[in-house]
Amino acid sequence: MAFIVKKIIHGNQYFYLNENKRVDGKVKTKTLAYLGKTKEGAEKRMEKFLKEKKPIEKEKGKEEKISIEKETKHVKISIEDLANFCKKKGFVFRSSDIYGGYAGFWDFGPLGVELFNNIKKDWWNYFVYQRNDTVGINASVISNPKTWKASGHITGFKDIAVVCKKCKKSNKIEENEFGKVKCDNCNGEYEKIGEFNLLFKTNVGAFALDKEDAYLRGETAQAMFMDFKLIYQTSRMKLPFGIAQIGRCFRNEIAPRDFLFRSREFHIAELEFFINPDEKTCSLLIKKHLNLKIKFLNAETQKAG
């Protein structure tokens, strides 16, 4: 705030306009203008000075705002540029990079693993530690093959593989998209190759007679359902309650691409919440939740932007 100060110099009085500002925790005084030798004249000059100063400060504020907006302007980059940046800075590398990499598999570098661990810690803290109605598990990647038969993954967890007739680029599409969408690389028509199950198959057992087909999990939910009764008994939780898990999953993608956004090995952080089927309402759902409306966009709308 500006104020008038009178100074006596060699027996004569002089008036100045000063202003106090806090800088680095300390109050500092700055002289803004000389206002003359009389109090009345000083007050008039101060009023005029402050009126002229306001538009200047306002214009300066606009310039600073424009400058900040220019500095924070979003720049659109390609997936390839993002991948190169992450590699250069030590976030993410191609798995087995010295051998040319392996499509759909990635390694976290020194900075990437720290970022990833921080995300996991924050997620776990929010969904598990800060709640008294949620517990966690860490289940095996391989489970009894009956698991995936019962869940329908062996028969239904499939993608349609297609190849472009023109550029021969492979891709996967939905059943209802075949004949409607064209190659995003050359705008050519797709040719259907067949259906492929996305589960990674492996063998369990050392000898031929003991070998049994097994699968790497494609998602984390199944273990939460299978272990529900044991968790319910050992944790002494009461319905409704949640089970959380962060784990590695695998999907044999037909055409892995877009950096980390479509890979064959990835992590899922998942929370399954269980309620009593005999109760008509859940005590955790308040009016705010019941009145919540969410807009869902289909694939076509999302692609159109």
| 35-76 tens-digit pLDDT | 888 888 888 888 888 787 766 556 555 666 666 566 666 778
How confident is the model at residue 266, as a pLDDT? Answer: 94
| % residues pLDDT > 90 (the chain) | 38
How confident is the model at residue 216, as a pLDDT? Answer: 95
Task: Retrieve residue 163's tokens.
Answer: 């190849």
Q: How far apart are CA 92 and CA 239, in angstroms?
A: 41
**Structural domains of the chain, with CATH:** 2-71 (no CATH), 105-144+199-304 (3.30.930.10), 158-197 (no CATH)
How confident is the model at residue 66, as a pLDDT? Answer: 61
Task: Retrieve residue 109's tokens.
Answer: 């570098």
Run of H or E including 142: none
End-to-end CA distance of the chain: 49
**What are the start-end ranges of the E strands in the chain?**
2-9, 12-23, 26-36, 92-94, 106-108, 134-136, 158-164, 170-173, 190-197, 200-204, 212-216, 241-250, 265-274
How confident is the model at residue 8, as a pLDDT? Answer: 82
In order of 42, 125, 132, 245, the CA distances from 128 in angstroms are 66, 6, 8, 10
pLDDT tens digits along 162-183? 888 888 888 877 777 777 788 8
Q: Which residue, among 232, 248, 279, has the nearest Cα to 134 in the 3D structure?
A: 232
Strand 106-108, strand 12-23: pairing: unpaired
pLDDT tens digits along 234-252? 998 999 999 999 999 999 8
The pLDDT profile of the chain, 305 residues, written as one tens digit per residue, is 677 888 887 778 888 888 887 777 777 788 888 888 888 888 888 888 878 776 655 655 566 666 656 666 677 888 889 999 999 999 999 999 999 999 999 999 999 999 999 999 999 999 999 999 999 999 999 999 999 999 999 888 887 888 888 888 888 777 777 777 888 788 888 888 888 888 999 988 876 667 788 999 999 999 999 999 999 999 989 999 999 999 999 998 887 888 888 899 999 999 999 998 888 887 777 888 888 888 888 877 877 76
How confident is the model at residue 194, as a pLDDT? Answer: 80
How confident is the model at residue 241, as a pLDDT? Answer: 94
How confident is the model at residue 56, as a pLDDT? Answer: 58
Long-range Cβ contact pairs of 75-84 (< 8 A, separation 24 or more): 79/258, 79/259, 79/261, 82/259, 83/259
Q: What are phi and psi of 189, to 5 degrees?
A: -85, 150
Asked if 162 and 172 count as a contact pair (C-beta separation under 8 A), the reply is yes
